Amino acid sequence: MGVHQETINLATQKANKHLTQKQTYTTKQLKHIFPAAIILTQSKLECLGQFKGKKLNERQLEELFEADRKTTRKWKEILEKDPG
């Protein structure tokens, strides 16, 4: 979809760090963590002026991952507060 590999790698790292902190997650939680990590990573890279490639919006991620936007935004906030 034109997303730069660096964005995917950083989002994957952020999601993995969060997942290792807790033992159990529901299917719904797991479905929303990665799209939230992508949104968070894109915004952080934009702030740093290091964003490359195509930016996916919440609606596109909702369709791609079948994850509702409200829950994805909630998980983005959780990941923002996560020190990892």
45-56 pLDDT, tens digit each: 998 898 888 899
pLDDT of residue 77: 95
Residue 60, judged by CB atoms within 10 A of its CB (0-12, 13-18, 19+), counts as middle
- Render each residue's pLDDT in the chain as its tens digit; 84 residues: 788 999 999 999 999 988 888 778 888 888 999 999 999 999 999 988 988 888 999 999 999 999 999 999 999 999 999 876
Q: Count H helices and E strands in the chain, helices first.
A: 4, 0
Report whether 75 contacts 33 (CB < 8 A).
Answer: yes
pLDDT of residue 10: 93
Domain count, the chain: 1
Range of the domain at 56: 5-81
